Amino acid sequence: MKNHPLINTLLTLRGNPRACVYTEPLWCIPHYLYIPFVSVYMSALFLTDSQIGLVASATMFFMAIFALLSGAITDKLGRKKTTLIFDILSWSIPCLLWAFSQNFWWFMVAAAFNGMMQITTNSWMCLLVEDAEKSAMVKIFSIIHIIGQMAVIFAPISAVLVNRFSVVPVMRGLYLFSFLSMTTKFIILFKFCGETEVGKVRKKETANMTIFKILSGYGQIFKRILESPGMMLALGISVIFNITSMILVNFFGLYTTGFLLIPEHFLAYYPIVRSVIIISFLYFVQPKLSRFGFKRPMLTGVLLYIASHAVLLTAPIENLIIPFVYIIVEACAYSLVMPNRDSIVVLLIDPDERARISSIMIVLTLCCSIPFGYLAGWLSDMDRRLPFMLGAALFMIVFVVICIGGKLMERKEDVVL
């Protein structure tokens, strides 16, 4: 097993990449314990589908605001300090708010804090990749995805608890556990990681600059993104996958329990099957796909996403098998698309301006995505199949974007497709 590319990469990680990867389970395990039941929990607290969609849109709105500030804050405070401060603000505090939520407004306040995750997403990504070898990027992201999926094996705990005690008290307990586990992770990461070499340079360069002065240079960064066909392609792909991910997270539980009439506790079992497929795919298949580049695996993955939605939308009521078929096909699609998408974004960004370019890319992604949270909720209020019809249509668009974008990049001799 030590000769496997992913195992070898995991064992040979050093410095910040090692600290980032090795502490990830402390965030992933609690996250995947509560995530299948989030929309059902909100519904049990009397939020309508439209309100659930509005909370999703509000979260993206706040994410966009903080994403705009993320590059400047990351450069000013340094990657290490920024990650600790805003991990606590964006995850520890929201977990407490979710645990004690009473109505719609509690979730809206939590959305404001949770939106700060975009600051720590930027700073954490810099910690992970800036001192890592570029040749190891796909392997590192594959490992991170595998860690996340392995955390799902704990999901039956949620299912058993929900089946016995009902969703509201169980979710309150899971959020409190998440607060403890995630906060522990943030402290350990701070202790064992160091400032990156690029971070030291940027921190020194911005020492005498205010946040607003640093932000004043964003116009030029924005222009660089618009002039790069590679970054524009990465942006378009990121927007569509952000929207479709939001639909899946917020409305799959409502669709399966409210429309297909699947018992609530089954929601914890679907992710287990998904994780087994993703782990197997990333471990056995992904290392063999590197010779195909990015384009063909991603196009195949998008076609599988479309097929998975077709399966879900034609599922008979009270049929427990068809949602599992959907999960299997969607998991294969995810395994093909996500590590390659993450690597594309990393490889196309100028490393000397990674924090600020990442910041603008995230802002643009979220600004384009914001209306779709409420739109999906509004559609779900009319018919709980409609958000997934929207998702299928978006995957058809991203298929065309990758086909056309790949050809444009080949003409301009860009590097990844």
- Which of 35-39, 401-405, 411-415 shows the lowest per-residue confidence on average (mean pLDDT)? 411-415
CA dist 78 → 15, 212, 333, 343, 410 (Å): 16, 16, 36, 23, 36
Q: What integer pLDDT is reported at residue 406 of this predicted model?
A: 63
Structure tokens at 311: 């399966």
Q: What integer pLDDT is reported at residue 353 of this predicted model?
A: 67
User: Which pTM does this prediction carry?
Assistant: 0.74
In the predicted structure, residue 258 carries a pLDDT above the cut 50 = yes
CA-based end-to-end distance of the chain: 31
Structure tokens at 412: 């301009």
- When mean pLDDT is compared over 9-18, 59-68, 99-108, 339-348, the highest value belongs to 99-108
Classify burial at 1, counting beta carbons within 10 Å of its beta carbon; exposed 0-12, middle 13-18, buried 19 or more. exposed
**Per-residue model confidence as pLDDT tens digits over 106-151:** 999 999 999 999 899 889 988 988 877 766 777 787 788 788 878 8
CA torsion, ordered 184, 118, 293, 395, to nearest 10 deg:
120
In the predicted structure, residue 208 carries a pLDDT above the cut 70 = yes
Give dist(CA 43, CA 60) in Å, integer: 20
Rounded to an integer, the average pLDDT of 182-209 is: 91
142 three-state secondary structure: helix
pLDDT band for position 181 (cuts 50, 70, 90): very high
Burial 345-361 (b: 16+ CB within 10 A, else e): bbbbbeeebbbbbbbbb
| Domain architecture of the chain: domains with CATH | 17-411 (1.20.1250.20)
Structure tokens at 32: 């995947």
Rounded to an integer, the average pLDDT of 63-84 is: 89
Give dist(CA 159, CA 259) in Å, integer: 20
- Which of 189-198, 222-231, 310-319, 326-335 shows the lowest per-residue confidence on average (mean pLDDT)? 222-231
Rounded to an integer, the average pLDDT of 203-229 is: 80
Residue, of 8 and 343, whose pLDDT is higher: 8
Average pLDDT across the chain, whole number? 85
Q: What is the DSSP string of 162-180?
A: HHHH-HHHHHHHHHHHHHH
The set of residues, in sequence order, having a beta carbon less than 8 Å from that of 7 and lying 6+ positions away, is 1
Q: What integer pLDDT is reported at residue 412 of this predicted model?
A: 44
How long, in residues, is the chain?
417
User: Any idea which residue has 């910690």 for tokens?
Assistant: 127
Structure tokens at 70: 């993320």
Q: What integer pLDDT is reported at residue 3 of this predicted model?
A: 66
CA dist 155 → 40, 114, 262, 286 (Å): 15, 23, 17, 25
Share above pLDDT 90 across residues of the chain, in percent, rounded to a whole number? 35
Give dist(CA 27, CA 5) in Å, integer: 25
Structure tokens at 298: 């991603």
